[in-house]
Copies of this chain bind each other. A is one copy, B any other.
Amino acid sequence: MNDFDDLAERVERFAVARDWGQFHTPRNLALALTGEVGELAAELQWKSATEIAAGIDGDLRARLADEVADVLIYLIRFSQVCGIDPTAEAHAKVTRNEARYPVELSKNNTAKYTELEHP
């Protein structure tokens, strides 16, 4: 089994072992996802691009990695309770985006980029 599928199984076993399915409704998990993305945003809120580039090799990366982990865990759990396969859905979306943003039109093109509401 690959790492991602194994992760999804561990996330589900964790919840089942603690009978936390009762709390893991789609709406509760959407609120939890909001909370974690908020923590990720807060790590970056007062930092300049230069400070982020400097910090990314140290403590900042560790804190961001912790938030990324939380977001991913809740996204997997949200998907499980909704019957969604997140990897398959993202593959399908990338395929649609490849058609919507042809390389020759979208390349290095911020005006187009902004207009097209890119992925």
Identify the A interface with B (CB < 8 A). 2-7, 10-11, 14, 17-20, 22-23, 25-28, 30-42, 44-47, 49, 51-52, 56, 61, 64-66, 68-73, 75-76, 78-79, 82-84, 86-94, 97-98, 101, 103, 106-110, 113-114, 118-119
Contacts and interface: CB of A to CB of B under 8 A. Distances in A.
Contacts of A70: 93, 119
Contacts of A82: 56, 61, 64-65, 68
Q: Majority SS of interface residues in chain A?
A: helix
A68 B41 contact: no
Contacts of A78: 40, 68
Given A47-B114, A98-B14, A35 B39 contact: yes
B41 A23 contact: no
Contact of A25 (B26, B49, B92): B49
